[in-house]
Amino acid sequence: MPKTYDICATLARYIAGSGISLILLLICPLFHGQAVAACTLAGPTMTFGTINIFSSSTTSGNATFKCTTGAQARTFYACLSTGTGSGGTTPSNRTLASGSNNIPIQITGGATWPSQIGDGTSYPMEGVVSFSVPAGSSGSYTFPLVVTIPAPSPLPPAGTYSSTFTGNDFQVYSSTTSASTCAALIGGNNSQNDSGTFSVSGAVVNQCGVSATNMNFGSASLLTSALSATAQISVSCNATLPITVALDNGATGTGPTSRLMTAGPRTIQYGIYKDNAHSLPWGNTVGTNTASGTGPSATLTAYGQVPAQAPAPTPGSYADIVGVTVTY
């Protein structure tokens, strides 16, 4: 807020005596010191949209610190302070909240300030920055803000998550006196602080993610007998959901039991099955040859078989890539 100065001194004297009952002397010149500056802080409204809970996400915006000078040009020195926010518990534990559920977040200044911005106790404030404003004019400094959600663990349930930073949780300390550190700036004689508001929000919907281990049939000199191998397909969801897992035919295959591993133009036929007896082919026709399970966590075993083949394939390293699709 602007600073003003009022000076008023009063001297009263009562003298009792012959012929003089009262002398009252009032000295009260009033000086209004002109405000150093009027400054404001305006923060952004930031949204992640739908949050991908299986990877890191970021959103960004700008906070504008604006100052207006009087009859004198000024150079302003400033530090940005960011605290806990409505969704967190401490300045070092800032989160987006949906009821009692939370998603941790990190707040930085992007490329200009890659470290987390704090209130000087949890993380350093951003600054000291400076900008100059001509006499009788306005000028501003833009603080970039980047909010990052690291891949959450545990997976958060569906909901709308948000946090608001205002008052002491989002403010700029400033001075027209140069300072080398934010602590020195705040401790100066003519420092002031101005608060603003910025908000962050995002939505989590029911989601599932999938991962798989490799299926390795090892080495063989001749394919006069079948080879077998397995792989694990793991599905993680943020809710109890029925899931369907489909496997495509690989890069060049034509069906669940006629997938092809290749080494250049050469091929080896193989199949993937839902059972150890290799009697239930695993493909991508829902309701016919797909597999099923139930989240939030499901692990399915894929059983692979390379049938005996003649003539023997040319020696080499054969491989294929099979796509996994989870429907929920």
pLDDT, tens digit only, all 328 positions of the chain = 333 323 233 333 333 333 433 333 333 333 333 345 699 999 999 999 999 999 999 999 999 999 999 999 999 999 999 999 999 999 999 999 999 999 999 999 999 999 999 999 989 999 999 999 999 999 999 999 999 999 999 999 999 999 999 999 999 999 999 999 999 999 998 899 999 999 999 999 999 999 999 999 999 988 999 999 999 999 999 999 999 999 999 999 999 999 999 999 999 999 999 999 999 999 999 999 999 999 999 999 999 999 999 888 899 999 999 999 999 9
Residues 51, 113, single domain; the answer is yes
Residues 194, 216, single domain; the answer is no
Give the domain-ending residue among 156, 176, 204: 204
Residues 136, 243, single domain; the answer is no
Residues 189, 218, single domain; the answer is no
pLDDT of residue 189: 86
Give the domain-ending residue among 204, 235, 259: 204
Q: What is the pTM of this model?
A: 0.81
Instruction: Give a yes or no: residue 98 inside a domain.
Output: yes
pLDDT of residue 8: 33
Residues 180, 283, single domain; the answer is no
pLDDT of residue 36: 53
pLDDT of residue 26: 39
Residues 144, 255, single domain; the answer is no
Residues 195, 213, single domain; the answer is no
Residues 219, 288, single domain; the answer is yes
Instruction: Give a yes or no: residue 301 inside a domain.
Output: yes
Q: Which of 266, 265, 283 is nearest to 274 (CA)?
A: 283
pLDDT of residue 37: 67
Name the residue range of residue 44's domain.
38-204
Reading the block at residue 139, the tokens are 């000028």
Taking CA atoms, 41 is separated from 59, 80, 140, 162, 166, in Å, by 20, 10, 10, 21, 10
Instruction: Give a yes or no: residue 23 inside a domain.
Output: no
Give the domain-ending residue among 148, 173, 204: 204
Residues 189, 277, single domain; the answer is no
d(CA 78, CA 181): 10
CATH code of residue 142: 2.60.40
Residues 244, 179, single domain; the answer is no
Residues 218, 291, single domain; the answer is yes
Give the chain's domain count: 2
CATH code of residue 303: 2.60.40.1090
Reading the block at residue 210, the tokens are 């999938």
Residues 278, 169, single domain; the answer is no
Taking CA atoms, 107 is separated from 38, 60, 113, in Å, by 27, 10, 10
